[in-house]
């Protein structure tokens, strides 16, 4: 398997390339640590490590005011210090269709810009899917983007755990509905519940609700519910709205919330399997009020244990580009190899 750049090495290489191509010249100031951290989605500590490396190589100098400027473009070249790496990435799709062509074209374009070597596999059945996964696993690919044969389920989980066990980071694009994309992380404790509820409010959700299924074996822990309620209370909501989708008057109760003049509603959903019931109510009230409800949803249990979902309306091409970006970050970090991300679309109005 090819050597993977650490994130700080990626920052170092980025600035070496800019200096050696004269995008940055002697005496120029570079961006602040905050701006660099935001651009690369890393901590300031990682940025400082990269800056220290660049200073030791003779590319940058730091003034007393922490202002970093470009000095001579000497030192070890980027090519010598970080030889070119071509990542081998597998893209697995179902049999070709207009929907998948859009994903294929977008992934191929992004892969070319990143210098990836992309191999495309097609599957048309569960058996073909298993064969594709075996080929990806035995091919020692650096990463994979996959569209599963099944939407989500036990067999799907088992198949893709084989990639995870092989240490191959991957991003899954779920079976097509249209309109909304989700990508997200699961935490079954007080701090996790508090954190995801905080994120819903940060996304300017005026009201936050929790959905569960009373017929499921799992019991919602008091610890987790306290996390939800404490976060809601902090934002002026007396307590989190609770909805049992098996309640005979579930639709009426949820409808009362939808009758409010809210532009955005936050949802904590126990399982993505509950979404069809929620979707039906949204469809009914969406037609009644002639509006689409913008939702930010966190699913506590998806086909994998770890998934943080942010829901947004996106075209398929953007969804594919996001998958490439997520996989790129997964391959850049050791931590990323242990976290599986799933992207899938949910059409709230196509019931």
pLDDT at position 319: 67
Match 């499921």 to its residue by tokens: 216
pLDDT at position 350: 28
Yes or no: is domain 180-346 CATH 3.40.50.720? Answer: no
pLDDT at position 121: 92
* Angstrom distance (rounded) from CA 166 to CA 156: 16
pTM of the model: 0.44
Report the CATH architecture of 7-81: Orthogonal Bundle (1.10)
Low-confidence ranges of the chain (pLDDT < 50): 1-5, 75, 78, 81-83, 152-155, 176-187, 217-219, 300-314, 335-340, 344-351
pLDDT in tens, 161-177: 777 778 888 877 755 33
* Angstrom distance (rounded) from CA 20 to CA 4: 23
pLDDT at position 89: 92
User: CATH 1.10.10.10 spans which residues of the chain?
Assistant: 7-81
Nearest Cα neighbor of 203 from 296, 267, 300, 282 is 296
pLDDT at position 119: 94
User: CATH 3.40.50.2300 spans which residues of the chain?
Assistant: 88-173, 180-346
Report the CATH architecture of 88-173: 3-Layer(aba) Sandwich (3.40)
* Angstrom distance (rounded) from CA 221 to CA 235: 22
Name, in order, each residue with C-beta under 8 angstroms of 184's C-beta and a sequence gap of 6 or more.
Answer: 298, 299, 302, 307, 308, 309, 310
């Amino acid at each position: 398997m090819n050597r993977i750049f650490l994130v700080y090495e990626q920052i170092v290489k980025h600035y070496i390339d800019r200096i050696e191509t004269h995008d940055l010249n002697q005496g120029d100031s570079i961006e602040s640590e905050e701006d660099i951290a935001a651009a690369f989605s890393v901590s300031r500590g990682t940025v400082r490590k990269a800056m220290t490396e660049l200073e030791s190589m003779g590319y940058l100098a730091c003034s007393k005011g922490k202002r970093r400027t470009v000095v001579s473009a000497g030192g070890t070249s980027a090519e010598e210090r970080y030889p070119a790496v071509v990542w081998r990435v597998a893209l697995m799709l179902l049999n070709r269709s207009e929907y998948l062509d859009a994903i294929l074209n977008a992934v191929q374009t992004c892969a070319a810009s990143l210098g990836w070597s992309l191999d495309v596999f097609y599957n048309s059945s569960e058996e073909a899917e298993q064969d594709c996964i075996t080929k990806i696993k035995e091919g020692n690919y650096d990463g994979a983007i996959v569209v599963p044969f099944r939407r989500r389920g036990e067999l799907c989980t088992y198949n893709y755990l084989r990639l995870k066990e092989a240490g191959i980071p991957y991003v899954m694009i779920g079976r097509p509905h249209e309109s909304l994309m989700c990508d997200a992380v699961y935490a079954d404790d007080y701090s996790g519940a508090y954190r995801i509820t905080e994120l819903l409010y940060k996304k300017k959700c005026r009201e936050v609700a929790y959905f569960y299924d009373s017929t499921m074996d799992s019991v919602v822990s008091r610890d987790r519910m306290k996390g939800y309620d404490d976060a809601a209370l902090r934002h002026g909501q007396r307590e989190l709205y609770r909805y049992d989708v098996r309640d005979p008057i579930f639709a009426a109760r949820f409808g009362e919330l939808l009758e409010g003049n809210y532009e955005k509603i936050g949802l904590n959903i126990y399982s993505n399997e509950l979404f069809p019931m929620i979707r039906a109510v949204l469809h009914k009230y969406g037609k009644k009020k002639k509006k689409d409800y913008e939702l930010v949803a966190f699913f506590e249990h998806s086909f994998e244990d770890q998934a943080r979902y942010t829901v947004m309306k996106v075209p398929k091409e953007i969804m594919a580009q996001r998958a490439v970006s997520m996989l790129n970050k997964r391959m850049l970090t050791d931590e990323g190899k242990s976290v599986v991300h799933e992207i899938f679309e949910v059409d709230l109005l196509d019931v």
